[in-house]
Chains A and B, each alone.
Chain A
Amino acid sequence: QVQLVESGGGVVQPGRSLRLSCAASGFTFSNYAMHWVRQAPGRGLEWLALMSYDGNKKYYRDSVKGRFTISRDNSKNTLYLQMNSLRVEDTAVYYCARDSGLRGLDQWGQGALVTVSS
């Protein structure tokens, strides 16, 4: 079955870096665009970034552009989110999600909690 498993979350000080991974299985990862979405505690969903199936196109929301980098390794069936210069307001659960091709996000990971605190 389709599975997305995030890892790499944790507690980090402001200004530091963290890299999240999203391991995909149960489908042909290289055929799908992938997204990162986050949810701050008690808040709604916030779309962060999108990477095309082949890694050639990347899109970001303005608040993370220049600080976060989405990437993928199709040989390892893994999506990444490199987060630099982290801020307290980046504290959230981070989800990776598959783009169904019909532009809905049809599969989601369980989420990885990132806490930015001194």
Chain B
Amino acid sequence: DIQMTQSPSSLSASVGDRVTISCRASQSISSYLSWYQQIPGKAPKLLIYAASSLQSGVPSRFSGAESGTDFTLTISSLEPEDFATYYCQQSSTTPYTFGQGTKLEIK
């Protein structure tokens, strides 16, 4: 199975901060990488697909990038509603594995 390693596992930041979350694949996944946001008690929400494409309706402060097997999710200026847990997921090869998650908390 392809392992997805996210870092950091948790992050404290303030409204207005720029934050970056990383995800590394254990082997090549091309651009088959998605990012999700999950608020406690709610279903995940797709933010980014194909590594860097913004899902319809998602604010432009969210962006994704890739470099080989390394992927990043950047939030350019945190809003109060962005404090949540973020997951990456590869969809190159089944099983479509998720990263372990990054919990973004208010500082």
CB neighbours of B34 from chain A (8 A): 103-105
Interface of A, secondary structure class, is: strand
State the majority secondary structure of interface residues on B. loop
Q: A104 touching B50 by the CB < 8 A rule?
A: yes
Type the 1/0 row for B45-58, where 1 means its CB is closer than 8 Å to any CB of A: 11011100101000
Is A100's CB within 8 Å of the partner chain B? yes
Which range contains the number of A residues in contact with the other chain? 20 to 34
Mask: chain A, 83-117; 1 = CB below 8 Å from B; 0 = not: 00000000000010100101111101111000000
- Whole-angstrom distance between the Cβ of A53 and the nearest chain B Cβ: 15
CB-CB nearest in chain A for B6: A44
- Give the nearest-CB partner of B97 in chain A: A47
Count, chain B residues at interface, CB 8 A: 25
Task: Give the docked Cα–Cα distance between A100 and B43 (Å).
Answer: 16
The interface residues of chain B lying within 8 Å CB-to-CB of A62 are: 1, 95
Assembly CA distance A105 to B49 (angstroms):
9
B94 within 8 A of A: yes
Partner pick for A108 among B1, B45, B87, CB 8 A cutoff: B45
Q: Does B14 contact A (CB under 8 A)?
A: no
Chain B nearest CB, measured from A6 CB (Å): 10
